[in-house]
Structures are given as structure tokens and as C-alpha cells.
Amino acid sequence: MTKPSVLVTGAGSGIGRAIARALLADGFGVTLAGRRSAPLHESAEASGIPQSDALIVETDVTDPAQVERLFDRHIERFGRLDVLVNNAGVFGANADVGELTVEDWESTFTVNVTGAVLCAGAAFRKMSAQSPAGGRIINNGSISAQTPRPRSVAYTTTKHATAGLTKSIELDGRAHQITATQLDIGNAHTELLDGIVTEGAVQADGSRRPEPTMDVSHVAELVVQLARLPLGVSVPQLTVTAAGMPFIGRG
């Protein structure tokens, strides 16, 4: 029987790294994609995981040709694509809409929206063409897809676009047994959130306060559970945050 397989973008660090490692440990074949090869190899290193279960593909998700090559290589290695974890993204500039430069907006949009759409499109084509057809696309929306932090207009706007992308995939994928999930994550502790623990985060009233965080492994466990669901089950949106963080009733 063919091993179920997952492609994870942004797998070289943070949430993507934790997800890729958890999927490998659970027995999935995993393609790890990212801009730099060395961090991807570090992500794949785990005790007892066969080398054949992990495929490393250095990829810029904003380049259509590289994206097509990434998905072709995944199919060549694993035979089919069961799940895409569409995770690659950047935070973008610390700015309000009046301060945001065109350059900062375009660089954030290109990765967070264009990159996500390119990867989702490639996954959709592979999933609809394979036999049996079907698959699951998990888009990392972030809680900023629902509620912004101060001075995060570029990031927040792109993550709201993720909501539209997810719903469109869910609708257009019905005929092909393709489902989509918007996974909104709040304060999963990776190296990117060290400042929230040590220095605090800027709040809506302008103050800076430390916020609760959760171990990123809990997010990775949720993704494994989503990946294990049968295609007859759809989870259009899932929000997971550190308990007590200022999200519900921010500010």
C-alpha cells in the first residue's frame, strides 16, 4: 500500500519544521520545501525516520516554475499527494496603512498570497488528476486572518486573503474530493516569538505586555490529526491559540 504523503512549505523553521517532523514521526512520506536547503535537512533529521520518507526540495514559492517542479518531484517520489500544508509566509513590515511602502506591501503579498495561490493551484491539479482523486489543502491563516495586531496591515490583509482562498478551494474542490482548511494559529512558541516572551507584544492600547504561548508541538499534532482524517470529513476552519492570549476581545 502506498504511504500517505504530505508536502509542507516553509518547512525549514518554526511551525513548518514542527509540522514536518511530526508527520514524519507519524509515518507519512513528507516533502519539505523552503528557500534554503540546509535548514530543510535539519528539519528532516529525526531519530529512526527512514531517509526515503523525506524529500528535500529547495523552492521559492513565488516562482511558478519552481513550484511546478516541487510538486512534480513530490509525485515522482511518493506517487500521489494526499495533503498540502501551505505554510510558507512572512510577517512583513511593522507599519500602519499610512506608513506602508509599496515595496513592503508587494514583498509581503508576493509570498503570503501569490505563493500560497501558486502552491494551492499546483496541489489542486495533482489531487484532481490522481487516482483515486482527492486530497486536503491546509492553509496557515494565522489568527490575524480574523483579528489584527497593531501596525500589521500588510500581514493582516494577506492573511484575510487566505480565508477567501480556503473557501474557494473548498467550493471548487467538491467535484474532485478536495477539501480545504484555514488553520489559524495564535502564539505557538517558536524562535520567532521569543520577543513576546521576553519583551512582550504591543497591545491595542499602545502598551507592551508579555503574552501566553503554547508549545508548537500541539499545533503539529493537530495537523497530523487533520492529515489522518478521511476525505469524507471537511474542517473548513480551525483556530488554536495559547490559552489566555489577548485574541478574544483583543485590547
Phi, psi of 61 (to 5 degrees): -70, -10
CB burial of 3-36 (b: ≥16 within 10 Å; e: otherwise) equals ebbbbbbbbbbbbbbbbbbbbbbbebbbbbbbbe
Local structure of 148: helix, strand or coil:
coil
State yes or no: is 34 an active-site residue.
no
Pairing of strands 83-86, 188-189: unpaired
E strand or H helix that includes residue 78: helix 64-78
78, 109, 155, 247: the catalytic one is 155
The partner residues of 214 in beta bridges, in order of sequence, read 188
**What positions carry a catalytic annotation?**
155
